Amino acid sequence: MIEVQELTVSTDGKRILRQVNLQIAQGETVVLFGPNGCGKTSLLKAIMGGAEYRVESGSIRFKGKDITGLPMDERARLGIGLAFQRPPAVRGVRLGDLLRICGEKSGGFTAEAIPGLARKLNLDDFLEREINLGFSGGEIKRSELLQLMGQNPSFIMLDEPDSGVDLVNIHLVGQAINDLLGKEQVAAKREKAGLIVTHSGYILDYVNADRAYVMLDGTLYCSGNPRDLLEDIRTKGYEGCVQCRG
């Protein structure tokens, strides 16, 4: 579904991604680990088409189409979605209105279905509020997921969906992610794929992932079983990754 080849990206004159290679097939869920500042968010935003990220070399293909030069809105229309780590608040636009517009444009759901969607993420009382304005950390994470449910992308990127979410709501977040990824279907029939950034790995208690990568200093360093890699990082730190490969 997504194929990143030798991607080198800079922002503000600083090179932040170096020759990243990543392939994710339809039906797969992939996890990305890495220390603060290594480039995880930058990779997700570069795939989404953030204008501040300049592709110096390499390419990004989505469902076989080269999207390297496409603006963000066109990538979103093609079916790429991102739940931001730290999204902006959108003054003057109510969460419920955005969902209503998403439903009308996509034909995927009616206005009557919106309260039910919000309930899935314990956001019943948030539909009249301006998007993310004054939301708590955990509320923002759930609001981002709700917006993705409205967009219903086929390639779903989640930047730390578990960070700051309480122990009761994390269950709802996990369920929503499984819904978004079509996890109720067998992998061969699933039309979605996902890329999830997590530090703690809490989300792995709820969402099954096929493979994980470790990013260090702007490049993908190694891959493996998500649980095994997480355990290695916990016990040996990211230093352990360097020694392991060295």
Ligand X SMILES: Nc1ncnc2c1ncn2[C@@H]1O[C@H](COP(=O)(O)OP(=O)(O)OP(=O)(O)O)[C@@H](O)[C@H]1O
Pair 204, 212: CB distance under 8 Å: no
Alpha carbon of residue 220 to chain centroid: 17
With respect to ligand X, which residue has the nearer C-beta, 2 or 98?
2
Nearer to ligand X (CB atom), residue 176 or residue 197 = 197
Amino acid at 211: R
Nearest residue (CB) to ligand X, 34 versus 201:
34
User: Least distance (Å) from ligand X to the CB of residue 14?
Assistant: 5
Pick between residue 85 and residue 143 the one whose CB is nearest to ligand X.
85
Q: Dump the DSSP string for 152-209.
A: --SEEEEESTTTT--TTHHHHHHHHHHHHTTTTS-GGG---EEEEE-SS-GGGGTS--
- Rounded to an integer, what distance in angstroms lies between the CA atom of residue 189 and that of residue 214? 28
Query: How distant is the alpha carbon of residue 182 from its chain centre?
Result: 15
Question: Looking at 12-20, 87-95, 118-126, 147-155, which segment touches ligand X (CB under 6 A)?
Answer: 12-20
Give the nearest distance from C-beta 198 to ligand X in angstroms. Answer: 10
Taking CB under 6 A as the binding criterion, the range among 10-18, 132-140, 219-227, 229-237 that sits at the site for ligand X is 10-18
Q: Which does 42 bind (CB under 5 to 8 A by kind): ligand X, Mg ion, none?
A: ligand X
The one among 27, 34, 96, 161 contacting ligand X by CB under 6 A: 34
For binding to Mg ion (CB under 5 A), which residues are involved? Answer: 40-41, 85
Say if CB 79 and CB 64 are below 8 A apart: no
Q: How far is the CB of 161 from Mg ion (least distance, A)?
A: 12
Residue 197: name the closest of 45, 32, 44, 80 by CA: 32
Give me the least distance between CB of 47 and Mg ion, in Å please.
14
Q: Does 201 bind ligand X (CB under 6 A)?
A: no
Q: Among residue numbers 206 through 225, which ones bind ligand X (CB under 6 A)?
A: none
- Region of residue 80 (phi > 0: left; psi between -120 and 50: alpha; otherwise: beta): beta
Q: Alpha carbon of 157 to those of 32, 79, 117: distances in Å?
A: 10, 11, 19
Q: Does 38 bind ligand X (CB under 6 A)?
A: yes
User: Of 22, 60, 81, 85, which lies in the binding site for ligand X, with binding defined by CB under 6 A?
Assistant: 85
Going by C-alpha positions, the residue among 17, 3, 154, 156 that lies closest to residue 65 is 3
By CB under 6 A, residue 36 contacts ligand X: yes
Binding site for ligand X (CB under 6 A): 11-12, 14, 16, 34, 36-42, 52, 85
